[in-house]
């Protein structure tokens, strides 16, 4: 079946789209960890952040410009939001297509530190 997010991008798997431009697609996470939990993915497949940076670092710009546009449209820029990129298995990455989590819409707790 291939990459889950590539299948979502191709329309083979349904998603709750919240944003799209020529290079980036964003949709609601199916297992939300906050009132707002979105995933922003680049339409060009890379497995993780390290590969994206090696392959085409401009994709990071595409992702963060899209995030800025979206949060300004819905007002998350005013209330605040969290940006998370899990890179690798031990960091919690479960889908091997680089993606950015956006969490917000409520007061978020502090991250645990060691």
Catalytic residue IDs: 99
C-alpha span between 88 and 50 (Å, rounded)? 9
Spell out the residues 6+ positions from residue 97 whose beta carbon is closer than 8 angstroms to its own: 3, 4, 5, 6, 41, 45, 46, 47
Distances in whole angstroms, Cα of residue 7 to Cα of each of 17, 32, 63, 64, 66: 14, 20, 19, 22, 20
């Amino acid at each position: 079946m291939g990459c889950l997010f590539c299948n979502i991008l191709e329309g083979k798997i349904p998603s709750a789209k919240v944003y799209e431009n020529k290079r980036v697609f964003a949709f609601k996470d199916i297992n939300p960890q906050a009132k707002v939990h979105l995933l922003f993915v680049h339409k060009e497949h890379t497995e993780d952040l390290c590969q994206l940076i090696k392959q085409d670092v401009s994709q990071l710009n595409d992702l963060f410009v899209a995030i800025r546009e979206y949060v300004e449209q819905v007002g998350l820029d005013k209330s605040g939001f969290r940006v998370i990129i899990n890179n690798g298995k031990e960091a919690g990455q479960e889908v091997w297509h680089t993606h950015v989590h956006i969490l917000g819409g409520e007061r978020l707790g502090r991250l645990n530190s060691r």
